[in-house]
Structure 1
């Protein structure tokens, strides 16, 4: 089975393949396939995309995703992320896993304060998307 990752925003986002700022990691942001339309019910935002990359473990693809987010949303905006197994798009999200990352205030979840100069590297070293977890990321 394949674990799919999705992101949602309040406006159109650029699609294509993107590397991290240090050229490490590679993600692709693609149009949502019609077969995954029901995933939109997990989000509060109207523009939903599939994020393709190894986002279920810490590492370079997480670094590339956060570099993408940092480059493509303005201060004060937020984006949502969600992951689920192929064929399980209709399963309820696990509210216990809801997670918040505040880039502006350098906060990862409730307990981790990030360094202003190294926050993307710190996120890439600690964070990953879990199955049926909604993640809100604010810049």
Structure 2
């Protein structure tokens, strides 16, 4: 399983900022073979509180808190390793929609962003702004793709 470091710099000692935590994240789950998700951090209101962390359950599809945010690290394996079959003319089996504004950054590998009409190939350094529409991810390569996603509750 991936080792994902998490450093929290929110401590104060003698009036100066300190690193409060520097360790591997504990919230890492392999939801399907090779599909590794770590829900790193979340907030439950806007503006965000800096005082505490609320532990969140790790789910296959994110459950962004109302008026909150969700920060997740995702490893998406090749489709063939997941057993995903995408048939032309049919919706992708992993198509989903969240009521969020998502900022997604591809760190490594490559991945297709599939919409109800059309798709585009994403490579390291690419950024996606996903605004609450149906979408799916398809990794047609032989290597895993790593992405970071920040989801912001978009309300109604």
Q: What is the TM-score normalised by the length of structure 1?
A: 0.32
Which protein has the larger Cα radius of gyration, Structure 1 or Structure 2? 2
More strand as a share of residues = 2
